[in-house]
Structure 1
């Protein structure tokens, strides 16, 4: 149950963050593509609109303390017991990342270079990738490998943005990757840690006390292969949905921007057309 809660909390953290980054980066890029530059966090005015960032500032230490409490009270295999300690430390590092972003925004922005924050975020994603799915084999290992691939994409984008912050495609991959990572984390929690959404012919993920390994128990090898194929298909489905959502958001923002441009230029165009008609009707008043 703790793992299901962890995956659901990851979904709640990453999806809104990714969607907000998509909307903010799209808006900034459409204003002037030539002057676009990615930001570690897209703060907005008034301050209360940045509640998602300050929510992370409060929620992340609570999540870290929860993992630490499970580590202290967990009496299972040492491999899985220390996994909660590692997760607690990783969440604490992401909390430090949020603190750095907020400090840079509220104090001297030159005291903490923006590229340093991107590098720090990239390193954290790499650490998360190395710890992800540790001790999980079989069908569960395949699912976590897919989640690890998304983590690597986020890490690569952060490291590249630290060097080339003006590359919009990297920002698009990072923001979409966060949304994708959030939805796939939820899918992982539902498919591997619940009986209701478990794969056909397979039980939810279980611990092997003797070996300290975790795997999804399937009745037949065919059920395991079918489960792997189904999870790969679901992964492609998640990718298509995230891509469609990203393109729809970009199209809506483009349409909204075009409407504002038309509203701004409409009266001016009407005045120009009126002046042109007057010049044609009374050519003798034309200034030479």
Structure 2
């Protein structure tokens, strides 16, 4: 139950942050397309009517998404650190391997936590803020380390289903790392910024699916069961003993992953439509492009002069 609660928390945090970043990306592009540049963090917009005592409270409200990010990273770091002290004989190499694998994941979350805290301090104090391209580069390193940690975790799992879930999660982190690297090189690349937000939403949905498939009896594929070490009383994730059941369960996970990708694409369309409506952008009528070559231009001028003389 504890692992499922953590998966729910991780899913809610990632979905919230990813959707918020997606909304801000679309809104920023629609309001100022000429000066658009990707940002690692979008604060809440300032209110022109904020004065006096409300100014300090509004500054806190501006950084609310950053506070949520820091809280989520701290919980993730604390979770991985605490579970490293528990024995887990259900992984390859038993408890020592589990301990170092958990500490590796905790170190990755700690790196993200340091970056987020420094960004918050530099925004609210006199610290020199880091350039956006450097922040995206650091985020790219963090996502790559998370990809490496998730891949290593998948390699030591005795549960084929958990290994497959961790492997797909690692691929999403690898995609996020690549997108952050692109944004570090070209901050005006809107498609990379929107894709990064969508990938974070996909990671949130996949964390939810992982928790349901591994820890909730009603969602465990047919022919599979929960692992249990009788001597230590440690209960693990889901295992399929029969090869046919294993292949069927992996195919179901692949199908669900594709379904989540489709859901994220639909979320992009819905979010963009709602942002366009909220921003008050109206579609203009169609127009014909003016000719660019000299021959067509001279032809139009002569035709206009002929009509005038007539």
- Give the shorter-chain TM-score range: 0.7 to 0.9
Corresponding residue to 1:52 among 65, 72, 77: 65
- Per-residue deviation, 1:203: 1.3
- Alpha carbon RMSD of aligned pairs, Å? 2.6
SS of equivalent to 1:196: helix
Distance 1:208 1:90, change over 3 A: farther
Is it true that 1:11 corresponds to 2:15 in the alignment?
no
What count of residue pairs does the alignment treat as equivalent?
258
TM-score, normalised on structure 2?
Answer: 0.75
2:298 matched residue in structure 1: none
Question: After superposition, what is the alpha-carbon deviation per residue over 1:200-240, rounded to whole angstroms, capped at 9, x for unaligned?
Answer: 1111356799xxxx874224221111111111111111011
1:99 matched residue in structure 2: 117
1:115 matched residue in structure 2: 133
Distance 1:193 1:83, change over 3 A: farther
More divergent stretch after superposition (160-169 vs 41-50): 41-50
| d(CA) in 2 for partners of 1:254, 1:8 | 31
1:168 matched residue in structure 2: 190
| d(CA) in 2 for partners of 1:219, 1:120 | 42
1:242 matched residue in structure 2: 264
Unaligned ranges ≥5, structure 2: 47-57, 90-94, 285-310
Equivalent runs, 1:148-187 vs 2, <5 Å: 148-187=170-209
| d(CA) in 1 for partners of 2:139, 2:230 | 34
SS of equivalent to 2:239: strand
More divergent stretch after superposition (235-244 vs 104-113): 104-113
1:90 matched residue in structure 2: 108
Name the structure with the higher helix share. Answer: 1
Question: After superposition, what is the alpha-carbon deviation per residue over 1:31-83, rounded to whole angstroms, capped at 9, x for unaligned?
Answer: 12222100010012333143231133344334423432332343642111222
2:166 matched residue in structure 1: 144
| d(CA) in 1 for partners of 2:134, 2:168 | 28
| d(CA) in 2 for partners of 1:193, 1:53 | 30
TM-score, normalised on structure 1?
Answer: 0.80
2:87 matched residue in structure 1: 74
Corresponding residue to 1:220 among 239, 242, 246: 242
SS of equivalent to 1:112: coil
Is it true that 1:64 corresponds to 2:77 in the alignment?
yes
Distance 1:75 1:21, change over 3 A: closer
| d(CA) in 2 for partners of 1:90, 1:66 | 12
| d(CA) in 2 for partners of 1:68, 1:78 | 14
Unaligned ranges ≥5, structure 1: 263-288
Distance 1:59 1:32, change over 3 A: closer
